[in-house]
Amino acid sequence: MNFVRSKEMKIELEPEQEEMLSSKETIRKIIAKHPKTVLAFDVYEKEDLIGFVLVHRFAKRKYFLWEYAIDIKFQNRHKGTQALKEFIAFMKNNYDVTEITTTYIYGNEHAKYIYEKVGFIETDVVDEPDCHEVNMVYHV
């Protein structure tokens, strides 16, 4: 897999998947507003654009996996798990990352499965009136 810096999310998703991510316009604004702490990457397998990753540095050598998605044409082919494993290695080798945190919406069993398969561990659950998320961490 290759990870190419990006200024926007170009992949396509199912409508219900789009609801779990920030809008493409919001992602563009986040990338533009935080050039020193936010990194965005298009994920390529050979010449195919298969995914998108957005991370935010919140401390020295620590990043939050803010957005992660695989294009609808490449889903259910184990590409998401493989791309995430390779992305973690890429971040370690190129940005000296020691920790990556993320969240997923409580009940999103597919996200939970992928994150746990890669090695993320659950740290806690936020269950408030307007927020139902599971926090996870990966120690690189």
Q: Candidates 3.40.630.30, 3.40.50.300, 3.30.450.20, 3.30.470.20; correct CATH number of 2-139?
A: 3.40.630.30
What does pLDDT average to over the chain?
A: 95
Residue type, 26: T
123 falls in which pLDDT band (50, 70, 90)? very high
pLDDT in tens, 101-115: 999 988 888 899 999
Domain boundaries, the chain: 2-139
Rounded to 10°, the helix 79-95/109-118 angle is 50
Residue type, 104: Y
Residues paired with residue 4 on neighbouring β-strands, in sequence order: 42
Q: Which residues, at least 6 apart from 9, have a Cβ–Cβ distance to it below 8 Å?
A: 21, 24, 27, 40, 52, 54, 67, 69
pLDDT in tens, 16-28: 888 889 999 999 9
pLDDT for the residue 118: 97
C-alpha 38/C-alpha 123 separation (Å) is 23
Output the six-digit token pair for 103. Answer: 């969240």
Query: For the chain, what percent of residues have pLDDT higher than 90?
Result: 86
Predicted structure pTM score: 0.94
129 falls in which pLDDT band (50, 70, 90)? confident
Output the six-digit token pair for 59. Answer: 């401390």
